[in-house]
Amino acid sequence: MERPVRVRFAPSPTGPLHIGGVRTALYNYLLARKLGGKMLLRIEDTDQNRFVPGAEAYIQEALAWCGIQIDEGPTQGGPHAPYRQSERKPMYRQYADQLLAAGHAYYAFDTPEELDVMRERLSAAKVPNPQYNAITRGQMRNSTTLPEDEVKALLESGAPYVIRAKIPRKEEVRFQDMIRGWVVVHSSSLDDKVLMKSDGMPTYHLANIVDDHLMEITHVIRGEEWLPSAPLHVLLYRFFGWETTMPQFAHLPLLLKPDGTGKLSKRDGDRLGFPVFPLEWHGIDAETNEPTISSGYREAGYLPDAFVNFLAFLGWNPGTAQEIFSMDELIQAFTIERVSKSPAKFDQHKVRWFNEQYLRAKPDEELAELLLTALTDNGITEVSAEKATQIAHLMKERVTFPGDFWREAQYFFVAPASYDEAIIAKKWNAAVSAAFADYATRLDQVQPWNQAEIKRILDETLAAHNLKPGQVMQALRVAITGGMMGPDLLAILETLGAGETRRRIEAAVAALAGFAV
RNA sequence: GGUCCGUUCGUCUAGGGGUUAGGACAGUAGAUUUUCAUUCUACCAACAGGGGUUCGAUUCCCCUACGGACUACCA
């Protein structure tokens, strides 16, 4: 009796996928893997007006970046191909006909203008729910009101029409949501939704139910915005006689805008100060026709594992104190029962924290590769793997993103062009300058070149000049790095090497001669 | 307006008839680091309100408030 678990992620290719969509895909994937089932990607492109070129490729790339593997889909193929609804168009008509024949649907010939008039009339009359429904359909131009021969004539004349669901007038529709429990809605609050548009394309509602049935979907995990139409979908399963294999529903809480209120939307991408998309998206502004770029987590330097880990925790938790989860651990721990009912706001601090945790957990060698990439991006090549590993080790506790390796550690590769003025004004003087000049000449006495020896010679030099380390270390740091931040100074010197250390000290002594008074 | 969903620290959340209501992020303070960051320690901080039920409700029920989604020939 138990059917093999099959879930689907069914986005519309209307633009880039935002993080809420990614989370929906992730939860579907986690459940599929947890239960040993299959994960499908189905492209719901029944609205030709909103189709955006490149969106589907973006979705595939984004899921792949996140490590969400698709078992069946438009590029992956599978036993239920095609997986794009536009390519399935011929299949839907027969199902609409089935509903028509059974009296669960009807033809409607009303023009958009007529529909507007109807809605205006109803709202002017203060009708509680102004809809095309069991009550109002009797006053409209459709096959429930028109004589049979007139309907036939209209159809034969090629008059435009839609097919609407015939929602029963008085019936309680109920279903059990895996997250919310029993949801009960009276059919009188539902409207006669269009199932087949006048262009011959099915609407979401028809295509979705037919495809979920045909593709043997067992669990429908989708956003809460679908909750209001779930009763219609339940009704459709009943109309088709597919109740016994109706999937289980789980409506996920929404992701809210971090500022203000309302659900997070694609449009929030450009104004929140942090990405809402997994990958950078190059789009075109609908109003101005100008090209736009929306930032992405990948390009911002987020590690996919960190991003996924964070996203998983937005609306779900394992019930333990553990927060760092690999994808495999998420699969093990995930249950729909532990998904929360209430919506979540995005926390931009927490996602950074996750990234830091993942970065620090990486071995130095792996970090070195990220560092090398960051350097190459900034025109620095010819850094040995060994040196990169040393620097990665020194810097790993101080970076949030791989790009920080360049921002925070460029003094390892480029001599300072300027020196922190406040520190120089306070700490640089003739005695310090003289001691540093002296130290530079003694650097070849440091044998071998390691921190202990560097320190020993420095102490000797300072003693000869009647100075104490505490008086000069800050000045020395500025001379070497230009600034006041960074890892242990001796470790920096050791990494820099004797020659570079000497060059920098001498350069600083020369450049700062004006302060040596 | 109507239908549906929701409501525990600023944020993500745990918990659940009797708890000092726990954790994480953020914030603050201190220790360590002759810098900064890290790390460690401490602190700050929440059960929306009102009625029930009960010996006892943050927890169960109802109402109100607030928030949200939906209300298209969009998904």
Question: What are the residue numbers of the active site of A?
Answer: 266
State, as a whole number of angstroms, the distance between the CA of A260 and the C1' of B66.
14
Which distant-in-sequence residues (6+ apart) come within 8 Å of A293 by Cβ? A280, A281, A282, A283
Residue nearest to nucleotide B68 (CA to C1'): A262
Please give the distance of CA A403 from its chain centroid, rounded to a whole number. 20
Contact status, residue A258 vs residue A346, Cβ threshold 8 Å: yes
Strand B nucleotides within a 7 Å radius of protein CB atoms: 1-8, 10-15, 23-26, 33-38, 67-75
State, as a whole number of angstroms, the distance between the CA of A354 and the C1' of B9.
21
Taking the alpha carbons of A197, A200, A204, A207 in that order, is the dihedral positive or negative? positive
- In which residue ranges of chain A is pLDDT below 50? none
Task: Give the start-end residues of each E strand in A89-140.
Answer: 105-108
State, as a whole number of angstroms, the distance between the CA of A6 and the C1' of B9.
40
**What is the nearest nucleotide to A46, using C1' and CA?**
B75
Residue nearest to nucleotide B3 (CA to C1'): A189
**What is the nearest nucleotide to A48, using C1' and CA?**
B74
**What is the nearest nucleotide to A469, using C1' and CA?**
B34
**Per-residue pLDDT at A1:** 56
**Per-residue pLDDT at A125:** 85
Paired strand residues for A389: none
**What is the nearest nucleotide to A323, using C1' and CA?**
B24
* Model pLDDT for residues A99-156, shown as the tens digit of each residue: 999 999 999 999 999 999 999 888 888 888 889 999 999 999 999 999 999 999 999 9
Torsion angle (degrees, nearest 10) of CA A133, A137, A143, A145: 150
**Per-residue pLDDT at A265:** 82
State, as a whole number of angstroms, the distance between the CA of A225 and the C1' of B51.
33
State, as a whole number of angstroms, the distance between the CA of A196 and the C1' of B30.
68
Contact status, residue A27 vs residue A14, Cβ threshold 8 Å: no
**Per-residue pLDDT at A130:** 86
Which distant-in-sequence residues (6+ apart) come within 8 Å of A284 by Cβ? A290, A291, A292
**Per-residue pLDDT at A271:** 75
